[in-house]
Amino acid sequence: MIVVATREFDVLVIGEGLAGAMAAAAAAGEGCRVGLVAKGPGMFALADGCIDFEKLDPHLEPEEGFEREIEFFLTTTAAAGCEYRGRLGERIAVPTLLGTFRHATFAPLCFGEFDPRRLTNVTVVGFPTFFDFDARFIAERLMSKARVEGRQTNYSARQLHISWQGELPHLEIEFAAQFDRNPQFREAVVKALASVAASADLLIIPGVLGVNTTTEELRDIWGYVGCRICEVASLPPSVLGMRLLRRLEDLLTRTGVELLTGFALSELCMEGEHCRGVLLDTPGRPRRLEAEAVVVATGAFSHLLDARGLMETNVFVCGGALQLSEPRTENAIAIVTAFRAGTRAAKLGVQHARR
Amino acid sequence: MEKTQVVIVGGGATGAGILWDLTLREVQAVLLDKADLANGATGRCHGLLHSGARYAVKDPDAASECIRENTILRKVARPCVHETGGLFVHLPQDDASFVAKWVEGCAKAGIPTEHLSRDEALAFEPNLPHDLVEAYTCPDANIDPFQIVAANVEAAVARGAAFKTYAEVTAIRLQNGKVTGVDYRNCLTGEQHSIGCELVINASGGWAQQTAGMAGVDVPVRCDRGALLILNQRLVNRVVNRCRKPGDADIVVPSGPVCILGTSSVTVPSPENLVVPPEEVQALLKLGAELIPALAEARVLRVFTGARPLYAPKSTGGAGGREISRGFALLDHEQTDHVAGFISIVGGKLTTYRLMAQVTADLVCKKLGVKAECSTDRVPLRTYPDDTAFREALGVLSPAVAQKAHRRMGNKLTELIAAIKREPALAEVVCECELVTRGEIEYVLKSSLVPAQTLTDVGRRTRMGFGTCQGTFCGYRTMLAGYRDGKWSAEQAVAYLRTYMQERWKGQQWAPAGKQAEQLNLSHELFSVEYNLQDEGTGDCCGD
Amino acid sequence: MREDDRKLDYCLKCTDCDSACPVMRVLPNFSGPKALGPDLERIRKEGIACDTAWLEYCMLCNRCEMICPNQVNPAEMIAHAKMKQPKRGRAGFRDRLLAGPDLLGRLCSVAPLFSNFLLRSKPTRWLMSKALRIGTERKFPKYGWQRVSIKKNGTSPHKIVFFPGCYIRYNDPHLMQAVIDILQLHGSVEIASTTCCGVPALANGVRSELLHALDTNVERLLPAVQDGARIVVACTSCSHMLKAEYPRLLSDDPQRGTMAQIIAQNTYDLGEFLLEIGEAPAAKLKPMKVRLAYHAPCHLKGQGIGRPWVQLLRSIPQVEVRDMGAECCGMAGTFGFKEEKYRLSMDIGEDLFSAIRAYNPDCAVSECGTCRMQIEHGTSVEALHPVEILHRALSR
């Protein structure tokens, strides 16, 4: 007589990437009780969070455009403390660790609030224990690129000297964790940055200013350092990606979404074409999560199901699981489709809540 | 102008073997290759040091030749050979009478084999099919083709020989029907050079016909493509062969942490721009799963292919692939085409490279009036360092990393240890899938007698990027290492990274789904999109 | 393909596991779950000796396995590698001792007052440090002597087998009584005559001890389960071991593997049991005006049952419970007792300690015995099992 514990939600979201987070936020915003399940973070937490609308497949574009979806995305991320900047139709240049510029329509503010190519003096700051971020390399590349494009920006490289007793972390993620938890360490780092900020208009540094840092806190740091700062995405584990995920998780929890992460789904509970819920593969006994509407946001390599077959009844697929995207446009598709999926799921979910 | 006695065109196993053989006989020689060492068939083969058992029924001469060479190489090139041993497995669906002939053929050729019952075989290799009939051991082994070529060249260079990679021969100069030298172009810088010499040896494998054409001679070579699949895990500990008439997908070779399934046989017009259709990959996996059932679910890291250069003179007519003997041909063009000072050596297999080099060097010495005999069957190519060096390595590296470095570097391990003691940061592992340290990367870029010029070269020398992530993390880190060491400027470094990643991606593209497709997706997400490796999208955009 | 081999193929080297590892966070040179797990696993198949000192720094908190989006099992790979690692020197001897707390527990329970005096005295601790490299900073937990009483015949049809675990059995008879009192409100209770669940053996990589625990417990628990009983466990390390690890560790053994599956299916954490199966207690819950700092043990998080005790405690009027939201307390069972790991253990726990200090609670609550030890050591705040709060609310 094995009792499988059951939890009920109005809307259940499967997947914790950008699509899953937006869908969950959308459904919660309509007043639904939302549960979000995921085995682990997806590509979003490994990447830099930039969103590119330029290469989006035109046939995805509805007559009314994307304004509602983008508005929702921008307000949600701002509320989460991971503000984005950008406008549809415009491009932002984000520096990369290869000394190129990556172009995006929307970019998180950790990359700064300005075009790095229009400044006069840019200092690329190397950290003593990070091998994956080579300031001299990046500066050399950016400099030669500027000259080729006829720009006058001056790029120089400097090494940061942090006055700190203990051993410095070797990985950006460890550095960021210490930045979060140890106020003295934080202070030492910010002081060190301030001392190289001298004559620079911009500092380009690896992404290390904490995993829990909000945009407001970033602005404070810039203020203290006395210079604009642009954090650059490095090889995984990605601090910038994790930061975005944490901020969104925090927002979701504050708005009442219940996060149940860490366990794979063993099956979808189907009744004909209607999905009753899912079974979570927890140790000992599975746990059953039931919902009126289910949003599938499991990414491009979904093992769960062939998403396209389930669009009939109460299952709404969004993001990479739609298999419409290649890496470049995955985030744009996520924003657009997740809002729609979340709000549609919420319509069903709200009916359920009223019963 | 540079002058030497002999110019060898082609840096595969044969060319490298000839360089070493001639050097030991004190003949001055320079080796040229238009790409890196072992970029042709040598670097795209199964990595199998045949015992000869595979040819025991069809080609007994080849079988005897193989076992002799196998024994020699296991002695003189010990660090490059992993003595895994081999198994020939009799599956219930295969012809039992062939097995009897095979056992007889091995005995005749002098290949030691031992019978194993079904249970004994399964105890050796748990991943064999449970319904196998029986199996036989044989002295097959895994040989690292990059290491064996590097070892030959390194040993030769240590004794005064010279070699140049990325040196493409553009002309063979003749005067009065005799070779006087070659012109070559530095592929990396574009500069043109010349070398004066008495003899040119055409050891350029799949390009032998092209090279011979420069001397006005025709050497008919048929290129035969074989596809090979690298699996993520070492599913077998021995070379596992299917005991039947040689066909597709009947050999699985363990090679470090991976294993390699092969192969196929398709005639192609040229050794370059080879493509393996996905259907062929699926077919190989299906066949291979009959031998090792786990292959049906195993993760394929990479598909690669090379062209076997088969000597195809008119007398063999239209026969292709396996029918043309895998034997080799030594062509003295003074006799056959009245071009003095030009020799071609064509065909053959990796296992018999040393013998091919020997017969070539014998002919060279005869022409040059050099009396020395071949000694490559006795003089060791590379030695293992003694115990103290390995123990010292354990002091600065974790055991697994030390073992890997020890295997790859042989007695050069002492240099690595010294470097790490000077700069402890060099102990950091750059390629985590294959355990390659920063120190080893620096060594092959700067101090080695056989230095790497490009990122892909580093991969060949160290196995960097050969593992699960296929260079996604280590390629970038290696690029930075080369930049920091002053080997490449920032621009050159990124250019090499581009070529490197393209090459790595190419081998993973065959599958639209599966774990490697996901790995490839991650790699593209990082390099194509996030870091914009291709540097797309220039021009202004609105800013603040 | 073998299940373990299949999982090895799943790894995409994304390093999510490294980002979740509490040890990597504070120990700069620690290789991490990716390197010690899937990276080295491919090399281990070559037969190369991959033992490394870093293996013993893995606390087996399982956070890496939970976060892995690809279902790779680095902690399991590390646990198996630990078993192959030779145990050398004083530290090795110590690890083998610590792997079997049952023996020490039974010995000390014979004369607990004397044992406590001896084990906690300065000269003994000095000796333990020199001979066994057990840190002097902590005192060994006390062994208890009170006898536990069980009434016959419960009030409801539930049959309950209580698996105490070594800590509760030998060190905290008071807690044992509280659990039994609560469980008897729901059915008939029997204390399982089992040996140590095997977590210390697994963590210290002592195969013989682990197999002994698996074999003994599986034999002794199955009959009761087949008889319709549910196994209830108050210590989350024990419940995680029974639910998650027993089936995995015995998966190669067709007979015992099935037994372990059945046992796992019928094992409940105490809070889980009370919330999901237990009916509301007949007696009313008296209000308790207390501020409780709750810490969720790693092995609770790994069961995927949420935070049942937070819900249960909040049902007591006037109780304020706040989840400290910390990752890992750093004790990891026997890990924090080891001299060379003491500092690391305290560094990992610092987040939790600061959160508790900032909240300034009346007491801390957590389901894991060693988490409680660590909280008391790091903050001087009393730490109780949440069932003791419930017990007080029922019995006052």
Domain match, B248 and B138 both: yes
Helices B490-506 & B474-484 angle (0-180, nearest 10):
160
Determine how many CB atoms are found less than 10 A away from the CB of residue A129.
15
Query: Do B472 and B492 lie in a common domain?
Result: yes
pLDDT of res. B54: 95
Looking at the structure, do residues B237 and B302 belong to the same domain, yes or no?
yes
Percent of chain C's residues with pLDDT above 70: 97
Chain B residue whose CA is closest to A43: B522
Domain-located, residue B213 = yes
| pTM, entire model | 0.94
CB contact under 8 A, A327 and B489: no
Q: Are C199 and C333 in contact (CB under 8 A)?
A: yes
Q: What element of type H or E holds A254?
A: helix A239-254
Provide, as residue numbers in chain A, all residues whose Cβ is less than 8 Å from the Cβ of B493: 137
| C-alpha closest to that of C338 among C129, C51, C36, C87 | C129
d(CA B123, CA B135): 12
Contacts of residue B525 in chain A, CB cutoff 8 Å? 43, 46-47, 327, 330
Q: Give the distance from CA A191 to its chain's centroid.
A: 28
Q: Does C191 touch chain A (CB under 8 A)?
A: no
Instruction: Choose the closest CB to C14 out of B257, B298, B522.
Output: B522
Q: State the pLDDT at residue A116.
A: 79
Chains contacting C (3+ CB pairs below 8 angstroms): A, B
Closest to C9 (Cβ–Cβ): which among B232, B398, B400?
A: B232
- The phi and psi torsions of C317 (rounded to 5 degrees) equal -60, 140
CB contact under 8 A, C42 and B234: yes
What is the C-alpha to C-alpha distance for residues A66 and A22, in angstroms, rounded to an integer?
14
CB-neighbour burial class of residue A121 (10 A; exposed 0-12, middle 13-18, buried 19+)? middle
Is there a contact between B233 and C42 if contact means CB atoms under 8 Å apart?
A: yes
What are residue A125's DSSP bridge partners? A158
Determine the residue among C16, C68, C261, C267 to mutate to test chain A binding: the one whose Cβ has the most chain A Cβ atoms within 10 Å: C16
Contact in structure between A102 and A96 (CB atoms under 8 Å): yes
| A50 CB within 8 Å of a chain B CB | yes
**pLDDT for the residue numbered B541:** 39
Q: Considering the domain boundaries, does residue B51 fall inside one? A: no
B64 within some domain:
no
A201 in contact with chain B, both atoms CB, cutoff 8 A: no
A108-120 as b/e, with b when 16 or more CB fall inside 10 Å?
bbbbbbbbbbebe
**What are the tens digits of pLDDT across the range A194-228?**
999 988 999 999 999 999 999 999 999 999 999 99
At B469 the three-state DSSP class reads coil
**Partner-chain contact A264 C71, CB within 8 Å:** yes
Query: Nearest by CB to A39, which of C71, C276, C350?
Result: C71
On chain C, the residues whose CB falls within 8 A of the CB of A174 are 24-25, 28
The position carrying tokens 């049809």 is C157
| DSSP-assigned states of every residue in A116-151 | GGG-SEEEEEE-TT-SS--HHHHHHHHHHHHHHTT-
Minimal CA separation from A262 to chain C, in Å:
4
C350 at A interface, C-beta within 8 A: yes
Residues sharing a CB contact under 8 Å with residue A190, sequence separation 6 or more, in sequence order: A221, A224, A225
Does B474 lie at the interface with C, CB-CB under 8 angstroms?
A: no
| Model pLDDT for residues A1-29, shown as the tens digit of each residue | 577 888 999 999 999 999 999 999 999 99
Q: Is B95 helix (H, G, I), strand (E, B) or coil?
A: coil
CATH 3.50.50.60 residue ranges of chain A are: 6-60+243-354
Give the distance, in angstroms, between the CA of residue C233 and the centroid of all CA atoms in the same chain: 11
CB B437 within 8 A of CB B423: no
User: Residue B180 CB: number of other CB atoms within 10 A?
Assistant: 15
What is the DSSP pairing of strand C158-163 with strand C187-191? Answer: parallel
The answer to whether the beta carbons of residues B292 and B242 sit under 8 Å apart is no
Instruction: With both helix axes pointing from N to C terminus, report the angle between A172-181 and C342-359 in degrees, rounded to the nearest 10.
Output: 40
Strands B29-32 and B6-9: parallel
CB-CB under 8 Å, A327 with B528 = yes
* CA C306 – CA C296 distance, rounded (Å): 9
- Concatenating the DSSP letter of every residue in B80-102 gives GEE---EEEEE-TTS-HHHHHHH
Residues B162 and B298 in one domain: no
H/E run at residue B241: strand B239-242
Interface test with B, best of C42, C55, C77 (most B CBs within 10 A): C42
End-to-end, the C-alpha distance of chain A in Å comes to: 31
Cα C89 from Cα C199, distance rounded (Å): 22
The whole-angstrom separation of Cα B362 and Cα B360 is 5
Taking CB atoms and an 8 Å limit, are A167 and C28 in contact across chains? yes
pLDDT surpasses 60 at A102: yes
The pLDDT score that the predictor gives to residue A297 is 94
Return the SS3 of B19: helix
Q: Encode pLDDT of C342-370 as tens digits.
A: 999 999 999 999 999 999 999 999 999 99
Enter the tokens of residue B510.
Answer: 């065959």
Burial class (CB in 10 A: 0-12, 13-18, 19+), B5: middle
pLDDT value of position B316: 52
Tell me: do B110 and B208 sit in the same domain. no
Nearest to B494 among A102, A115, A141 (CB): A141
A-B C-beta contacts closer than 8 Å: 99
CA C212, C218, C219 angle in degrees (round to 5)?
A: 90
A touches which chains (3+ CB pairs under 8 A)? B, C
Task: Report the residue of chain A nearest B477, measured CA to CA.
Answer: A132
Tokens of B441: 């990367």
Give per-residue pLDDT as tens, C230-248: 999 999 999 999 999 999 9
Neighbour tally for A279: CB within 10 Å: 17
Chain A, chain C: beta-carbon pairs less than 8 Å apart: 89
Per CB-CB distance under 8 Å, the chain A contacts of C19 are 173, 237, 242
Mean pLDDT of successive 10-residue stretches along chain B, which has 544 residues: 95 98 98 97 96 93 94 94 96 95 96 97 96 97 96 96 97 96 96 97 96 96 95 97 95 97 94 94 97 96 95 64 65 94 94 96 96 96 81 92 90 92 93 95 95 96 96 96 95 96 95 91 94 75 34
Q: Are residues B297 and B348 in the same domain?
A: no
Tell me, what amino acid is at B6? V
Cα angle vertex B237, ends B234, B242, to 5°? 100
Q: Which chain C residue shows the shortest CA-CA distance from B233?
A: C42
* Interface contact A327-B521, CB threshold 8 A: yes
Give yes or no for B327 touching C (CB within 8 A).
Answer: no
pLDDT for A192 equals: 96
Using pLDDT thresholds of 50, 70 and 90, give the confidence band for residue C279: low
| B32 assigned to some structural domain | yes
Same domain for B436 and B520?
yes
The phi and psi torsions of A85 (rounded to 5 degrees) equal: -125, 160
CATH number of the domain bearing residue B330: 3.50.50.60
* Domain shared by B130 and B201, yes or no: no
Q: Are A106 and A85 in contact (CB under 8 A)?
A: yes
DSSP state of C134: B
Lowest average pLDDT, out of A140-144, B318-322, B342-346, C59-63, goes to B318-322
- Indicate whether B99 and B123 sit together in one domain: yes
Say if strands A315-317 and B114-116 run parallel, antiparallel, or are unpaired. Answer: unpaired
Asked if residue B168 and residue B271 are part of one domain, the reply reads no
> Three-state DSSP class for A260?
strand
Residue the block writes with tokens 């992404």 = A207
Structure-token pair, residue A232: 């650059």
Question: Would you say residue B155 lies in a domain?
Answer: yes
Nearest CA distance, A171 vs chain C (angstrom) = 8
Cβ–Cβ gap C240/A168 under 8 Å = no
**In this structure, are B131 and B226 located in the same domain?**
yes
A355 pLDDT more than 80: no
What is the identity of the amino acid at B276?
A: V
| Residue finishing a domain among B281, B310, B339 | B310
From the list A2, A42, A181, the residue facing C265 with the nearest CB is A2
**Does residue A63 sit at the B interface (CB-CB below 8 Å)?**
no
Strand runs (DSSP E) across B312-388, as ranges? 328-332, 342-347
- Is the CB of residue C308 less than 8 Å from the CB of residue C385? no
Of A111 and B467, more confident: B467
SS3 C384: strand
Q: Do B541 and A301 touch (CB under 8 A)?
A: no
| Number of compact structural domains in chain B | 3
Residue B377, SS3 per DSSP: coil
- Could you tell me if A47 lies within 8 Å of chain B, comparing CB atoms? yes
pLDDT at A307: 53
Q: Is residue B500 one of the residues assigned to a domain?
A: yes
Q: Using one digit for the tens of pLDDT, what is the confidence trace for C35-45?
A: 999 999 999 99
Average pLDDT, chain C: 91
Q: Residue A350 is inside which H or E element, if any?
A: helix A330-354
Residue B435 to residues B430, B464, B516, C78: CA-CA distances in angstroms? Answer: 7, 8, 20, 18
In a domain, B403, yes or no: no
pLDDT for res A303: 65
Q: Is C311 on the interface with A (CB under 8 A)?
A: no
| Tokens (6 digits) for A26 | 């959308």
For residue C293, what are the β-bridge partners?
C322, C364
Checking if the pLDDT of C88 tops 60, the result is: yes
Range of the domain at B93: 82-142+222-310
What's the Rg (C-alpha) of chain B? 23
Alpha carbon of C170: minimum distance to chain A alpha carbons (Å) = 27
- Judge whether A140 is closer than 8 Å to chain B, CB to CB: yes
Q: Is B519 on the interface with C (CB under 8 A)?
A: yes
pLDDT reported for residue B319:
47
Amino acid at C389: I
Q: Are B137 and B282 found together in one domain?
A: yes
Fold adopted by A6-60+243-354: FAD/NAD(P)-binding domain (3.50.50)
Tokens standing for B55?
């040819």
List all chains that touch chain B, counting a touch as 3 or more CB pairs closer than 8 Å.
Answer: A, C
Q: Is C364 on the interface with A (CB under 8 A)?
A: no
What CATH number corresponds to the domain at position B137?
3.30.9.10
Q: Where are the beta strands (DSSP E) in B243-311?
A: 251-255, 258-262, 266-268, 300-311
In sequence order, which residues have a C-beta less than 8 Å from that of residue C72 and are 6 or more positions away?
C7, C8, C10, C11, C17, C37, C38, C65
Q: State yes or no: pLDDT of C154 exceeds 70.
A: no
Interface test with C, best of A174, A242, A298, A301 (most C CBs within 10 A): A174
Q: Would you say residue A306 has pLDDT above 90?
A: no
Dist. CA A11–CA A257, nearest whole Å: 10
ipTM: 0.94
Domains and CATH numbers, chain C: 3-84 (1.10.1060.10), 158-197+207-275 (3.40.50), 281-395 (3.40.50)
In chain B, residues 339-398 whose CB comes closer than 8 Å to chain C: 398
